[in-house]
Chain A
Amino acid sequence: MEFNRKDILDMESLSADEINMILDTAVSMKEISGRSIKKVPTLRGKTVILFFYEPSTRTRASFDIAAKRLSADSISLTGSSSSIVKGETLIDTARNLEAMKPDIIILRHACAGASHLLAGRLKSAVINAGDGMHAHPTQSLLDLFTVREKKGSIKGLRIAILGDISHSRVARSDCIGFTKLGAEVVLFGPPTMIPKGIETLGVSVAENIEDAICGADVVMMLRIQKERQKSFLFPTEREYSKVFGLTREKLKNVKDDILIMHPGPVNRGLELASDVMDGPYSVILDQVTNGVAVRMAILYLVAGGVRNADTD
């Protein structure tokens, strides 16, 4: 099978075969990161622009390292350093960037659909590094990779996603990604954070945290944005951590080999108790490690894979 996709915009548009191909490719990419010289010439001469309108630490660093390990030239732009602050539109800025002939543009943007807007206008490949509350496909792919690596397969697993589902692009992408590969996804969070019609993504909503994590193979905790308290989504951090946070106490009756995941950054003690975050079930740092491998795989495949890569 060849990978013929110009852009990676969301999990919805990727087929199960394409997802598996990305995950398979990431296995060999991960091996590169384990070498003492972590660099191959695969994307030599390719230009990757990291266009981050919204602040990000790990996703930007992860893409940047991924590009550099494949020998691509990467440059990084942020919202405050771009022409956006001078009033230029997204499309005009992107057209100017395209005039410099990049091969891949990686976009992080606060508005849902921003990467779709660019992908429709540009010849360069566009990779969505998170758009508003909509999608974060590379995060979802690294989540899938991590679960597959630890469990051998995704099919038949029970995945619980807990927290602020409404505002989470990771939750949306994970719901689609995990169900596409045959897992069952159950959600739980405060009723103020469960969006209308989320069941149409093929997932169910549990009534309490115990039901959600009982029998789960994976628990994905989501970050709570503390400023959400101002929009009345939850009364206090104290109550949130007590009722909706994951503590060792709540993990008493779960499976022995459960995985605790989190897309980061974690509010230590709020959604995740400190001892759970550092405990034996946690694979949060494995997710970060795998993020580089998955993003290397995506860059490689989108850049044309074996067809176009310089493989000397």
Chain B
Amino acid sequence: MLILIKGGRVIDPGRLDGINDILIKDGKIAEISSEGSTAFGSELKEINATGKIVTPGLIDMHVHLREPGQEYKETIKTGCAAAARGGFTAVCPMPNTNPVNDNRQVTEYIMGKAALEGKIHVYPVGAISKGLEGSALSEYGELKDAGVVALSDDGLPVMNSMLMRRAMEYAGGFGLPIISHCEDLDLAAGGAMNEGEVATSMGLPGIPNASESIMVMRDIAICELTGTPLHIAHVSTKESVHAIRDAKARGIPVTAETAPHYFTLTHDAVKNYNTSAKMNPPLRAAADREAVRQGLADGTIDVIATDHAPHAAYEKDVEFELAANGIAGLETSLPLSLQLVEDGLLSLTDLIDRMSKAPARILGIDNSLKPGAPADITIINLEKSYIIDAPSFASLGKNTPFDGLQVKGKAVVTIVGGEIVWKGRGERSSRPQAAPKKVLYVNPKQ
């Protein structure tokens, strides 16, 4: 079948920005033209993209699909459906499944399931260490052969500096980047939220900024030593942003990501023991949020990922200190990120880069709008206003602090390999479109 995406503003950061038609044939981009296309026969399916943005497919390089092992939280099928709705054509599931993705069998299981039920691309991340135990390297050669695109012990830091050094040296030989969850466990021990006045008044044990930045700095030093590309996961503190900025200025091959909650919320969101705002790293202070926003604006932070962490409701409906960490992020990432454009922090092109091109560059994935490339495309309606409605998420995880928030901007069509995997049909929220119940963040400039 042929698909013609007609009349949209096509943005491929670094290559294209203009009103164009895109013709898709046999799963690939066949033609891009500003001329207005001629008839292609009865097989043609036309998508009117007038007034919309057409971009390379969004890639979320940091998600948790929970399968195998915790299918009650999410499955590859539901996670991919949530991703498609959020505008993502590819996701990278972290290896902290059960069993851990530290071997060929688990990688193949994930990729096989994804091929059958996923509809979008799934590029697994393999474990740095066997069983995520931080004591022995997993088999990178075999993992790479099975299809992993990067290595990480996400959720757990590699505390042993020698193991981290060897992991980076060894991974470099296979061209696999290392994604580091930076946390000094001794310094963070027992903490449930950001250390500071909010934690003090709520009587919750705090996690200091330094528990993250100390490891960011260590890993940058090991990156400098080994030369293997290092990607810092979910940056949340100003000190981390400064360290990464300095490292980049010195030419060290480090990249970084943050998540929408770190540039939208602060630790104030945790007040009243709100477990939907409990995550690791924790939501930080306003100065950290501002540093993360500036880091995105100047390119210090390359990527917006979600750290999509779905949980069952009963795992959040408990005492704050006992509640599971993380939020379901796939279906809220795009509108929250578009707010950065609205706030004048990022151009639309830069935002698309942070959400599609940059993760592709880091992971070595072909993701361009050019003839011959796979037709992985997201069409975005920037004008669509709506209220985030967690109960209607495709994800099994409804855990989000953004439920009820008024937002603007939505993926209306997601195309993967020439197949339309998501098309918004003017879907209705289960909640009446009344006033939003909360405003979580107000841009200080407005």
- B245-253, B311-319, B343-351, B398-406 - the one binding chain A: B311-319
Question: B273–A112 contact, CB under 8 A?
Answer: yes
In the assembled complex, the Cα of A284 lies from the Cα of B322 at a distance in Å of: 35
B203 contact from A91, A132, A200, A231, Cβ within 8 A: A132
Q: Is B201 an interface residue (CB 8 A)?
A: yes
In the assembled complex, the Cα of A109 lies from the Cα of B189 at a distance in Å of: 20
Separation in Å of the B340 CB from the closest CB of chain A? 29
Q: Is A172 an interface residue (CB 8 A)?
A: yes
Tell me whether A134 and B204 are in contact in the complex, defined as CB-CB below 8 angstroms, given that A111-B321, A112-B320 are known contacts: yes
In the assembled complex, the Cα of A111 lies from the Cα of B192 at a distance in Å of: 10
Q: Is B7 an interface residue (CB 8 A)?
A: no
CB-defined contacts of B197 to chain A, threshold 8 Å: 196-198, 200
Residue of B nearest to A121 (CB): B317
Q: Is A182 an interface residue (CB 8 A)?
A: no
Residue of B nearest to A133 (CB): B203
In the assembled complex, the Cα of A113 lies from the Cα of B271 at a distance in Å of: 10
CB-defined contacts of B199 to chain A, threshold 8 Å: 195-196
Chain B positions 265 through 278: 1 when the CB is less than 8 Å from some CB of chain A, otherwise 0: 00000001100000
Separation in Å of the A54 CB from the closest CB of chain B? 12
Tell me whether A89 and B318 are in contact in the complex, defined as CB-CB below 8 angstroms, given that A116-B272, A116-B273 are known contacts: yes
Separation in Å of the A14 CB from the closest CB of chain B? 15
Residue of B nearest to A173 (CB): B203
Q: Is A117 an interface residue (CB 8 A)?
A: yes
CB-defined contacts of A131 to chain B, threshold 8 Å: 203
Give B209-266 interface residues, CB cut-off 8 Å to A.
Answer: none
Chain B positions 167 through 201: 1 when the CB is less than 8 Å from some CB of chain A, otherwise 0: 00000000000000000000001000001111111
Q: Is A201 an interface residue (CB 8 A)?
A: yes
Most chain A CB atoms below 10 A, which of B197, B317, B319, B320: B319
In the assembled complex, the Cα of A135 lies from the Cα of B314 at a distance in Å of: 25
Most chain B CB atoms below 10 A, which of A12, A89, A196: A196
Separation in Å of the A146 CB from the closest CB of chain B? 23
Tell me whether A196 and B273 are in contact in the complex, defined as CB-CB below 8 angstroms, given that A89-B318, A90-B318, A172-B201 are known contacts: no
Question: B321–A200 contact, CB under 8 A?
Answer: no
Separation in Å of the A120 CB from the closest CB of chain B? 9
CB-defined contacts of B317 to chain A, threshold 8 Å: 89, 91
In the assembled complex, the Cα of A112 lies from the Cα of B202 at a distance in Å of: 7
CB-defined contacts of A111 to chain B, threshold 8 Å: 319-322
Question: B196–A114 contact, CB under 8 A?
Answer: no
Give A89-144 interface residues, CB cut-off 8 Å to B.
Answer: 89-91, 109, 111-114, 116-117, 131-135
Interface size class of B (residues with CB under 8 A): 20 to 34
Question: A109–B201 contact, CB under 8 A?
Answer: no
Residue of A nearest to B315 (CB): A89
B204 contact from A12, A89, A112, A231, Cβ within 8 A: A112
Separation in Å of the A137 CB from the closest CB of chain B? 12
Q: Is B206 an interface residue (CB 8 A)?
A: yes
Tell me whether A113 and B273 are in contact in the complex, defined as CB-CB below 8 angstroms, given that A133-B203, A196-B206 are known contacts: yes
In the assembled complex, the Cα of A251 lies from the Cα of B386 at a distance in Å of: 65
Most chain A CB atoms below 10 A, which of B189, B204, B273: B273
Tell me whether A89 and B314 are in contact in the complex, defined as CB-CB below 8 angstroms, given that A132-B203, A133-B203 are known contacts: yes
Question: A197–B204 contact, CB under 8 A?
Answer: no
CB-defined contacts of A198 to chain B, threshold 8 Å: 197, 200
Q: Is A180 an interface residue (CB 8 A)?
A: no
Separation in Å of the A193 CB from the closest CB of chain B? 12
Question: A132–B196 contact, CB under 8 A?
Answer: no
A196 contact from B196, B203, B322, Cβ within 8 A: B196
Chain A positions 183 through 222: 1 when the CB is less than 8 Å from some CB of chain B, otherwise 0: 0000000000001111011000000000000000000000
Q: Is B205 an interface residue (CB 8 A)?
A: yes
In the assembled complex, the Cα of A172 lies from the Cα of B195 at a distance in Å of: 16
Apart from A112-B203, A117-B273, A133-B203: 7 A-B pairs, beta carbons within 8 A: A12-B201, A114-B319, A117-B319, A134-B203, A196-B195, A196-B206, A197-B197
26 A-B residue pairings within 8 Å (CB atoms): A89-B314, A89-B317, A90-B318, A109-B319, A111-B319, A111-B320, A111-B321, A111-B322, A112-B203, A113-B204, A113-B320, A117-B319, A131-B203, A133-B203, A133-B205, A134-B203, A134-B204, A135-B203, A169-B203, A172-B200, A195-B199, A196-B197, A196-B199, A196-B200, A196-B206, A200-B201
Interface residues of A (CB under 8 A from B): 12, 89-91, 109, 111-114, 116-117, 131-135, 169, 172, 195-198, 200-201, 231
Interface residues of B (CB under 8 A from A): 189, 195-206, 272-273, 314, 317-322
Rank and list the top 8 A-B pairs by shortest CB-CB distance, nearest first.
A197-B197, A134-B203, A113-B273, A111-B319, A133-B203, A112-B203, A195-B200, A200-B197
